[in-house]
Structure 1
Amino acid sequence: MKVEAFLFGGVAAFFAVTAGLYGWWSGDPTGTAALVIAFLMGGVVSFFCMVQYRRKGRRPQDRRDAEVADASGPLEFFPPKSAWPLVTAVGAAIAATGVVYGLWLFLIGFGVLARGVLGMVFQYVHRQD
């Protein structure tokens, strides 16, 4: 994941430089905010990839001398079925609609969205590895 971390770090750096130059030359807060958000998203992905690389080390895909059999076996746990992604999607849709129609609807949507995300995160917290 080290290569991916550097790749997204480069993307984040590009958007940081672009946001700085765009904000300085144009004075447009909307475009600058969009570029800053793009920088933050690239930075978050880069940070995640670097943390995974430091926690788990090199993957077989990162080594030139690796065989196909080195990557065999179970990789991670993937839940078989869950209703929480649907709850999260409905909460995001209600919150986005609330941005247009009012704060009260946004807060309801945010509550549903938060419950869906927490449900996905903690659904299998007591699962035995």
Structure 2
Amino acid sequence: MKAEAMLFAAVAVFFAGSAALYGLWSRDVTGTTALVVAFGMAALVAFFCLVQYRRRGARPQDRTDAEVADGAGPVEFFPDESLWPVVTALGFAVTATGVVYGLWLFLIGLGVLARGVGGMVFQYARR
């Protein structure tokens, strides 16, 4: 993940420079804020990739002398089908509808949404 970390770090540096120059020249708060947020998102992804690289070490994709066979084997855990994303989407829809129609529907939707998110988070906790 070293290559990905460096790529996103370069993107973050670009957005930081763009935000600084744009903020100085234009004095526009909205555009500067958008560029600062873009910098933060790119920096967050770069930080995540760097932490994963340091935690797990170099992958075959990171080495220049690697062969295709070096990347063979199980990749990751891919979960089976789940109904929790459907419950989460339903909870979000009811919550958004509750914003229009009233607090009682909003609270019901919030409960369904919380249950759906909790189900997705803890579905494979004992794996």
TM value normalised by structure 2: 0.76
Structure 2 Cα separation of the partners of residues 35 and 111 of structure 1: 35
Q: Is the counterpart of residue 82 in structure 1 residue 68 in structure 2? A: no
Q: Structure 2 unaligned runs (5+)?
A: none
Question: Share of identical aligned residues, percent?
Answer: 66
Q: For residue 66 of structure 1, what is the aligned residue in structure 2?
A: 66
Bigger radius of gyration among the two: 2
Matches within 5 A, 1:1-129: 1-90=1-90, 115-127=115-127
Structure 1 Cα separation of the partners of residues 13 and 106 of structure 2: 33
Structure 2 Cα separation of the partners of residues 13 and 94 of structure 1: 40
Distance 1:52 1:107, change over 3 A: farther
Amino acid at match of 2:16: A
Structure 1 Cα separation of the partners of residues 125 and 61 of structure 2: 29
- Which moves more between the two structures, 83-92 or 47-56? 83-92
Distance 1:34 1:58, change over 3 A: same
Structure 1 Cα separation of the partners of residues 7 and 29 of structure 2: 27
Amino acid at match of 1:122: F
Structure 1 Cα separation of the partners of residues 110 and 12 of structure 2: 28
Amino acid at match of 1:9: A
Q: Secondary structure at the match of 1:25?
A: helix
TM value normalised by structure 1: 0.75
Q: Structure 1 unaligned runs (5+)?
A: none
Structure 2 Cα separation of the partners of residues 110 and 26 of structure 1: 41
Structure 2 Cα separation of the partners of residues 82 and 38 of structure 1: 32
Deviation string, structure 1 residues 79-128 (Cα, Å, up to 9, x no partner): 11122333444556667x58x969x688877766555444323210111x
Amino acid at match of 2:35: L
